[in-house]
Amino acid sequence: MALRKIVKEGDPILLKKCRPVEKFDQKLWDLLDDMVETLAESGGVGLAAPQVGIMRRLCVIDVGGGAIEFVNPEIIETEGEQRVQEGCLSCPGEFGIITRPMHVKARFQDREGNFCELEGDELLAQAMCHEFDHLDGILFKTKVERMLTEEELREMREEE
Ligand code: CO
């Protein structure tokens, strides 16, 4: 396993639509292993393949219970709303206020290619929306109500 370099905002790769994963092979598993390791090291909640320079539809999310791998994910149901703070590993130090669904049901494939469904609330629902958006070249900043001010960021850091 190896850490991958995280692509930062400004790189046009983050604005491109990713292609579906077609081969469930060792190369994919190595990539997923690297992404899980890179996410753990970053302290973030989610990491999408384009953020490590790979234009394929996969991402990893860990909201505290271990990493979940999503290959070719799509949202098939949403419910409710939550107005939350959000950031992105590709936009370090920046956070915005955004409205996301409170509940999300997703369909995706695992690393073997098996189809799965997963339902999530709150942070997991938010993370699924954020990471799946990356696969269509959409950054959270294009969906925020507003970004946090310097003062709000300072308060946030003090609370940590
Ligand atoms: Co992100």
Task: With CA atoms as reference, report the closest residue to 116 among 68, 80, 50, 65.
Answer: 68
Beta bridge partners of 75: 106
Q: Measured in angstroms, how far is the CA atom of residue 41 from the centroid of ligand 1?
A: 15
For the question of residue 22 being annotated catalytic, the response is no
Q: Single out the catalytic residue among 74, 81, 131, 145.
A: 131
Task: With CA atoms as reference, report the closest residue to 31 among 43, 44, 48.
Answer: 48
pTM, two decimals, is 0.96
Q: What's the pLDDT at 93?
A: 93
Domain positions in the chain are 12-79+103-142
Question: Could you tell me which CATH number the domain at 12-79+103-142 has?
Answer: 3.90.45.10
Q: What's the pLDDT at 57?
A: 98
Beta bridge partners of 146: 97
Angle at 67 between CA 65 and CA 68, to 5 degrees: 105
Q: Measured in angstroms, how far is the CA atom of residue 131 from the centroid of ligand 1?
A: 6
Q: What's the pLDDT at 159?
A: 85
Backbone angles phi and psi of 155, in degrees to 5: -60, -40
Q: Within the chain, which residues score under 50 in pLDDT?
A: none
**DSSP assigned state of 6:** P
Q: What's the pLDDT at 44?
A: 95
Q: Measured in angstroms, how far is the CA atom of residue 133 from the centroid of ligand 1?
A: 8
Q: What torsion, rounded to 10 degrees, do the Cα atoms 37, 42, 98, 61 define?
A: 10
